[in-house]
Amino acid sequence: MKAAEMKERPTFTLMKQTDVQSIYHMQMPRWLFSDPRYADMSLDAKVAYTFLLNHFQLSRRNGWVNDHGEVFVIFPRKELARELRICEQRVTAAFHKLVELKLVWEKRCGRGDANQIYLAQVQPEDDQDYSCAPFLHENYGSRTAESAVLDGTNSPEPQQEPQDLPPKNRRIGGSRTAESAAKL
C-alpha cells in the first residue's frame, strides 16, 4: 500500500522501516484476547503473564528445570511490580487471577527463597466472533504492509521471528541471568 502524501510533519521523529528490528520487545499471546476463558482478564494480568512468558524463555535457555523437565521462572512480585511500574498489590491481584485461571502454578520454596513459577501449557480456544486486524480482515491479508516491503516478496505467508535468541543484557532491557537470580 502506498503511503498518503504528508504535507504536515509531527514535531517528533517517526519510526522508519529499519527501526522496527532494533527495538527490544516481548510477544503477547493473541489468545489472551481471543480465547473467551481469558478475555475478561485484566490488562495487568495479561501483561504480567507476558513478562512471565518472556522470563520462561530465558529460564528454558538457562536450564532451570525440575526433575520432570518442567521449566520454572523466578520473578519476585516486587521485581515484577518495579518492571511494570505498578504497585505490588496490583501484581498480587494479577497473580491471583493467573492462578485462578490455571495459567501459572507457584512452588513455595521457603522463607527467604523466591517462589518457583511454572507456566501452564495452554491449548487456546478461539472465539469465532473475535476479530483483530490484521489477523482476519481480507484487506490486510496475513501480513502487515511493512513485511512485504522488508522482504521484497508478495508471498501470503507471514514471516516468523527466530525463537532462540541469546539472552539480552539487563542494562539494555533484557531479563535476569542465572547469576543475578542466584543473588536473590
Q: For the segment 118-130, what is each residue's pLDDT rounded down to a tens digit?
A: 999 999 997 888 8
pLDDT confidence of 166, banded at 50, 70, 90?
low
Mean pLDDT of the chain: 79
Give residues with Cβ within 8 angstroms of 74, minimum separation 6.
55, 59, 64, 114, 115, 116, 117, 176, 181, 184
Specify whether the CB–CB gap between 164 and 73 falls below 8 A: no
| Residue 19 pLDDT greater than 90, yes or no | no
pTM of the model: 0.67
Whole-angstrom Cα distance, residue 151 to residue 157? 11
Q: 111 or 177: which carries more pLDDT confidence?
A: 111
| Residue 104 pLDDT greater than 70, yes or no | yes
Res 18: pLDDT: 76
Specify whether the CB–CB gap between 3 and 20 falls below 8 A: no
| Beta-bridge mates of residue 32 | none
Q: Extract the C-alpha cell encoding 47.
A: 501483561
Specify whether the CB–CB gap between 46 and 28 falls below 8 A: yes
Give the residue-averaged pLDDT of 160-169.
49
In order of their start, the domains of the chain are 28-123 (1.10.10.10), 129-159 (no CATH)
Write down the residue that cell numbers 543475578 correspond to. 180
Give the residue-averaged pLDDT of 15-21.
71
